């Protein structure tokens, strides 16, 4: 299995945080630069994050966050668009229904509320 192009116009090997997305033909997982599979292909979607945490969609269509070893950082109970990759190391962005963002670290803890939290009404 090979790394997939992140879009048709880029080179096929897009690595972020030392990992790329691979497919078994149906589902997606993560592979490192040495070609070792670090997360089995069990997700419907994975978004690569520069910071090393990855937004993923499970077979039920729910989104969560995994790290490069497949550990669950944010539970799979979110709708599409609520979890987004972050460029900050070892963090991921979680957005709620009111479009308010917060940064979650690799232990699943909120470390900051970068925007939207204290806006005047």
88-103 per-position pLDDT tens digit? 878 888 887 666 788 8
- The whole-number pLDDT of residue 15 equals 81
pLDDT score, position 64: 94
Query: Lowest-pLDDT range, 55-64, 69-78, 81-90?
Result: 81-90
The phi and psi torsions of 81 (rounded to 5 degrees) equal 90, -10
pLDDT of residue 65: 93
Rounded average pLDDT over 94-113: 81
Lowest model confidence (mean pLDDT) among 1-10, 16-25, 100-109: 1-10
């Amino acid at each position: 299995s090979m790394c997939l192009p992140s879009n048709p116009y880029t080179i096929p090997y897009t690595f972020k945080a030392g990992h790329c997305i691979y497919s078994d033909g149906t589902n997606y997982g993560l592979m490192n630069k040495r070609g070792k599979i670090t997360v089995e292909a069990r997700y419907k979607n994975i978004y690569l994050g520069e910071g090393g945490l990855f937004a993923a969609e499970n077979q039920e269509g729910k989104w969560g966050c995994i790290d490069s070893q497949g550990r669950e950082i944010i539970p799979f109970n979110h709708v599409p668009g609520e979890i987004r990759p972050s460029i900050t190391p070892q963090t991921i962005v979680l957005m709620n229904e009111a479009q308010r963002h917060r940064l979650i670290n690799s232990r699943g803890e909120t470390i900051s509320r970068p925007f939207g939290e204290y806006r005047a009404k």
